Copies of this chain bind each other. A is one copy, B any other.
Amino acid sequence: MLFTVNKSPFLFGHLDSCLQYAIKDTPILLIEDGVYAASKGTSYEKKLKEALGKFEIYALGPDLKARGIASVIDGVKIVDYAGFVDLAEKHNVAPWI
């Protein structure tokens, strides 16, 4: 299973909720405004780093670029749309919208 999260973690509890359902083999893909969670130096960084210790976390590169997020937290894997498709090929998708 692959979780996708498309909301900013600052105003929306979607990622917090998702992290409570995640397990070792369910990667999380941040897309759209969800990619703000992968940004370095934010008040969410600590939570994301804790999550990185437990789960694989991906962020969609085109969405990072769109938002001008140049520094991404170490350990977050950046993928393009082809990488999104690869993840959806390997896993069933659970959109945490």
A-to-B contact residues, CB < 8 Å: 10-14, 17
Contact = CB atoms under 8 A, between A and B. Distances in A.
A11 B13 CA distance: 4
Nearest to A11: B13
A17 B13 contact: no
Nearest to A13: B11
Contacts of A17: 11
A14 B11 contact: yes
A16 to B, nearest CB: 9
8 contacts: A10-B13, A11-B12, A11-B13, A11-B14, A11-B17, A12-B12, A12-B13, A13-B13
A85 to B, nearest CB: 28
